[in-house]
Amino acid sequence: MKKIKILNKSFSKPMSCLTAYSPSIANILDGKIDLILVGDSLGSTLYGMKNTQGVTMEMMINHGAAVNKVIKRSLKVLDMPYKTYDNKMDAYKNAKKLLIHCKPDLLKIEISKKKLVILKHLVDKKINVISHIGVTPQSYNNFNKIKIFGKTVKERKNLLKLAQESEKLGAKAVLLECITADTAKLITENISIPTIGIGASKFCDGQVLVFDDLINLSTGDKKLRFVKNYFNFNKIAGNAVRKYNREVKLKKFPSIKFTFN
């Protein structure tokens, strides 16, 4: 495992990253994992959107600022939302807003060959950026059309080149989403900055998941293959709600213990 350095912080083991959109969740995660991501996945997770394209700067600022208040030990990562970095002027203006209001350690942007110029511009402005390649959710209207990348020789070469260009232009890390294990391994072995995977195998230098998926909070959605549930919050919370409802109906709650005299 390569020695990983991000902003003077070193990790000799694979990095862990989870999403947080609220102070209560961020407080649970802080110091227990390496990176906390305020992701634009909040669009579907919190707001019921079908994709991430409806996520606004205001949403990211509100959630990013709230999460920032409680994070003391983990590194803070913030997504730049859809259409906020289409050109160099907008990218820098919006990045500055996010940095001022939310104070993240790194910003994450979805990268294609055309967006490399944006990455370079932000890095030139002394902004720490994570390059997100492979499946880039902001480019999808319908998540059902998402496919795995890296299956063909051409895709493998293109992804490797994109990762290498990202490193060359100054990205602090590369996030690999939904790509084959052999492609993830190839990229990880051929760049010196860390790779963080989501649906990209154990060969990455770190892993990220959506916290709500980790605890099985939302059961209505079809779980992608890379999602692992570590705790069934939905079941436990459901039992607590049923118990509360029963006690209210039977007038067992509030008892004297929970009543002011």
Tell me how far apart the alpha carbons of residues 243 and 75 are, in angstroms, rounded to a whole number: 38
Catalytic residue chosen out of the listed positions 165, 167, 177, 247 = 177
Distance CA 55, CA 58 (A): 8
CA distance 83 to 109: 11
> Can 177 be counted among the known catalytic residues?
yes
Assess contact for 7 and 105: CB atoms under 8 A: yes
Whether omega before 137 lies within 30 degrees of 0, making that bond cis, reads no
Report d(CA 141, CA 138) in Å as an integer. 8
- Give the whole-angstrom CA distance, residue 220 versus residue 118: 37
Interior CA angle at 80 toward 213 and 223, to 5°?
20
Residues facing residue 38 across a β-bridge: 78
Instruction: Give the residue from 16, 13, 44, 9 showing the smallest Cα distance to 30.
Output: 16
Find where tokens 């902003």 sit: 7
Closest Cα partner for 163 from 202, 122, 204, 128?
A: 204
Of 129, 181, 119, 131, residue with least CA distance to 156: 181
CB neighbours of residue 47 within 10 Å: 11
User: Coil, helix or strand for 6?
Assistant: strand
Which residues have a catalytic role annotated? 177
